Copies of this chain bind each other. A is one copy, B any other.
Amino acid sequence: MLIEKDFENIISKLETEIKKILPKGNVADYIPELSKINPDKFGVSISTIDGLHFGTGDFDENFSLQSIAKVFSLTMVYGALGEKIWNRVGVEPSGNPFNSLVQLEYEKGVPRNPFINAGALVICDYLFDIFENPEIELLNFVRKISGNSNINFNLKVAESESANGYRNKALINLMKSFGNINNDIDKILDLYFKMCSIEMSCKDLSHTFLLYSNHGELIQTGEKLLTVSQTKRLNSVMQTCGFYDESGEFTFKVGLPGKSGVGGGIAAIHPGKYSVAVWSPLLNEKGNSYLGMKILEFITTKFEKSIF
């Protein structure tokens, strides 16, 4: 078992290591509100299943979760409806950029997985099937699993993305034309953009992801949100589909299930051991945090802490 000293060692080496890496890439610019972020921000937080917590840099500062939030809506829907959700969304990597319509058309409106935009829209559609007021339910759920009741949407970011969200509108209309959307398109899009605008810190994020490290049981309360089998499956979908068109590369270099967002965050877990959250807004050409991937690669390669 990993012990406190191991992680302290990792964190201290990491602080040295990080200074050697020349930052590269660009902040997300297709959402105007996000493009204003300070590109030098940088934070790391690690939480172990035994209750240890380590952080460095801006690990206590909020940032925009973006696609990382898709894991939370999926958890709600999967927990509520079980395996039948996979009839309307697949579990295969896409092999194409994250918002591609090409594959969606060839596959008759069924998204390849719940982490590409089309798949996350189907999951939001499910939330309207389940809840009267999915917006409030989603926020309450994220507050509960993070243990932070101040978590909120950033409505300026949500509006900024909505105003430029023509491609997501194209995706949802295409799925509707194939009969794979049940509820009102505008309401689903509104929820989707709000969900992506949720903000939290690396510290909150590593706390939250312990859920997936802990086989679906909320450490704070012991509440079972997903079965062991469901958690295993959700983790495996993160492993194969969590990093857009770079999931293979991430698995190859990092070897942990995880999820990235264009806000520059990445969360990853080692089942039964620990969770880790990193944040650096400069993205590589695939839309993943450049420094974030380097750090996670450093952690798992140097310390041989991958699952493989």
Contact = CB atoms under 8 A, between A and B. Distances in A.
A47 interface: no
A236 interface: yes
A169 interface: yes
A246 to B, nearest CB: 8
A112 to B, nearest CB: 7
A235 interface: yes
Interface in A233-257: 233, 235-237, 239-241, 245-249, 251-253, 255, 257
A93 interface: yes
Interface stretch (A20-28, A59-67, A100-108): A100-108
Interface stretch (A6-14, A38-46, A129-137, A170-178): A170-178
Q: Main secondary structure on chain A at its contact with chain B? A: helix
Interface stretch (A152-160, A277-285, A300-308): A300-308
Contacts of A167: 173-174, 177
Interface string A91-111: 111111000111101100000
B228 A252 contact: no
Contacts of A251: 91, 236-237, 239-240
B176 A173 contact: no
Given A101-B170, A102-B102, A307-B308, 15 more contacts: A91-B249, A92-B248, A93-B240, A113-B248, A166-B174, A169-B169, A169-B170, A173-B173, A232-B300, A232-B304, A232-B308, A236-B308, A237-B252, A240-B240, A307-B307
